[in-house]
Structure 1
Amino acid sequence: MSIERAAPRPRPQQERSQQTYELLLNVAGELLAEVGIDRISTNMICARAGMTPPALYRYFDDKYAVLEALGGRLMARQNAVLDAWLARYEPGGVASLKGNIEELLRDTAAVTASEPGAVWILRALHASPRLVHVRVASHRLVTDRLTDAYLRHLPGVDRDQLWRRLRISVEIGFAVDEMLQEEERVSADLAFRNAARMLQADLED
């Protein structure tokens, strides 16, 4: 069953409005880290930001719209890491891409760790039917970009087959990132190293 959702409002264009928009997101991220998805509310966000509810509703319809924007911002920052990584290593071909998967995992995780309330944002993108589309669309975009990069050096490979293989790899990579937000019994070094080896091995054939 599909979930009906309102189209997200466009980001504000004026500088002052952009600053207010980012302030609301930063405050919401901090509150998420403190109280979690269920307890956070637009009233709490407004009180922390020193704003009135009508001011917040100029930008967001409800708390789920705030969470959607937080998820979109986090995914965009993670995807910027991918773009920089591809610029560095795609010219070197498949061996260069495969050989530097661990760096991509580490750099992506560093962006996630720097985001206020990241673990709760990620939980919301999994748990809420209204928000799942943010994560899925972003992971598909990452898969598209990786597929394009590999195909430039593998002209005889079927695109759809490669896309499906890489889509699974992308999900594994992000799952490792999310695990490190919660699991203290696995070191980041071990997680990145093992995940990179597994993903490299999957691309061997």
Structure 2
Amino acid sequence: MAETPAVRRKKPSQERARETRERILDSAAQLFAEFGIAETSTNLIAAHAHMSIGSLYRYFDDKAAIVEILRGRLLTELEECFTEAVLGSLGLPLRESVAGSLRVIMRALTERQRLVRALAAEATVAGIGFGGLERRLLLLTRAYLLQQLGPRPDDELDTRAFVMVNAGLAASLRIALQPPPGLDPDRLIDETANMFADWLSAGA
């Protein structure tokens, strides 16, 4: 069926709206990373995106709405990276699979370090929004432990998954945002993985 003139006009308009929205988000991410969220106003974001403040408010109610979208995208990217790492490590030795998953998270955080730092500036790990990510990683880690260790009581699987996810996220976040001077990040990840592997092997 042939498109009507109205449909042909609507598509470019929708595409322009998406491009404008992405330009606002890109500008906000750059400014948050450079100056921090508290020091970045919507006026500054609009100027950086080369638009009026009125145009910005047609897409976002306030700065908090922009922050939430950027946080959500970050957490989705981290979840996708972790999921791919875990699924790709099935069948590998325990130390190697754990180290690979931790390294993927650490590198993903390092690549987005400035934005992660801005989101974390006035918050705990939970305050960054990792609570939602944590719940999804717990399910994935629980399934991984079931595959590695075999059937176990639910409370044991839940406890081990909780410890691994929270300790792993905390270690990866610490290494990515503030690596200890003089220490090799990859070695830190390997030592963390060794600790997890020994702990899991002891309970196998």
Matching of residues 158-169 of structure 1 within 5 Å: 158-169=153-164
Does residue 1:191 correspond to 2:165, yes or no? Answer: no
1:88 is matched with 88
Shift of 1:78: 0.9
Check conservation: 1:139, 1:170, Cα contact below 8 A. Answer: yes
Check conservation: 2:137, 2:165, Cα contact below 8 A. Answer: yes
2:11 is matched with none
Within 1, Cα distance between the matches of 2:35 and 2:77? 24
**115, 118, 125: which one aligns with 1:117:** 115
Within 1, Cα distance between the matches of 2:59 and 2:129? 18
Larger Rg: 2
1:23-80 per-residue CA deviation (whole Å, 9 max, x = no partner) reads 3222222112221132122111111111222333333322222222111111111111
Check conservation: 1:143, 1:167, Cα contact below 8 A. Answer: yes
The one-letter code matched in structure 2 to 1:119 is R
Within 1, Cα distance between the matches of 2:195 and 2:178? 21
Within 2, Cα distance between the matches of 1:153 and 1:200? 11
CA RMSD of aligned residues (A): 2.5
Check conservation: 2:86, 2:97, Cα contact below 8 A. Answer: no
Within 2, Cα distance between the matches of 1:137 and 1:27? 25
Shift of 1:147: 0.9
1:10 is matched with none
Check conservation: 1:78, 1:111, Cα contact below 8 A. Answer: yes
**159, 163, 176: which one aligns with 2:171:** 176
1:151-184 per-residue CA deviation (whole Å, 9 max, x = no partner) reads 2454521234312321222122222222131234
The one-letter code matched in structure 1 to 2:66 is V
The one-letter code matched in structure 2 to 1:182 is Q
Within 2, Cα distance between the matches of 1:202 and 1:15? 52
Closer, same or farther: CA 97–42 of 1 in aligned 2, 3 Å: farther
Does residue 1:105 correspond to 2:94, yes or no? Answer: no
1:136 is matched with 131
The one-letter code matched in structure 1 to 2:57 is Y
Shift of 1:122: 3.3
Within 2, Cα distance between the matches of 1:177 and 1:138? 14
Within 2, Cα distance between the matches of 1:135 and 1:182? 18
Identical residues among aligned pairs (%): 27
TM-score of the superposition, structure 2-length normalised?
0.77
